[in-house]
Amino acid sequence: MSEQSHGLIATFNTASGVYHAAQNVRDAGYKHWDCITPFPVHGLDKAMGLKRSLVPVFSLFGGIAGATAAMAMIFYTGAVDYKLIVGGKPFFSPIPAVPITVEAGIFCSAFGAVVGMFILCRFPMLYHPVLKSDRINAALDDKFLIVIEARDPKFNLAQTKALLEKAGGLDVKELEA
């Protein structure tokens, strides 16, 4: 492996081919690798051994924070900062505050999901070595790729290449960094 190597890249012609190859790579114990497909392949994340995303957790906490902040703001303005008696009604009642609280919760939930996605995907990633590959255009159209990075502890150029070829990878090549 040269000093400028990012890893190995293998091409597959079918979704089932990349699916079964992903299972083989996962079972071989690799940790730093990815599949690039032109469309979502059902079950590929499970075949890769990926855990469930944490984006819903970010969304939940965003929604709770937004709803709590809205209710607190309504309470503060009505019962603490600007006490106004109107027709003998209480300074604060949660019933009229429900629509604003729900809307703030929904807004902050969506905002939390987007922020969580950016954090977990490590955006903005302005460059990736796979983009230099001549195969990336085919992978955006009708081919499937598996990229195993050289930083993986199990990476050995000869053994990893043999694994990808045995799994059905066509034209396994070294990927420049």
pLDDT digits (tens, 9 = 90+) for 63-83: 999 999 999 999 999 899 988
CA distance 32 to 52: 17
Note the pLDDT tens digit of each residue in 121-173: 888 878 888 888 888 888 888 999 999 999 999 999 999 999 999 999 988 98
What pTM did the predictor assign? 0.74
Segments making up each domain of the chain, as ranges: 5-51+126-176, 55-120
Residue 173's Cβ-count burial label (10 Å; 0-12, 13-18, 19+) is: middle
115 CB neighbour count, 10 Å cutoff: 15
The residue among 83, 79, 103, 175 whose CA lies nearest residue 132 is 175
Q: According to CATH, what is the number of the domain 5-51+126-176? A: 3.30.70
Residue type, 99: P
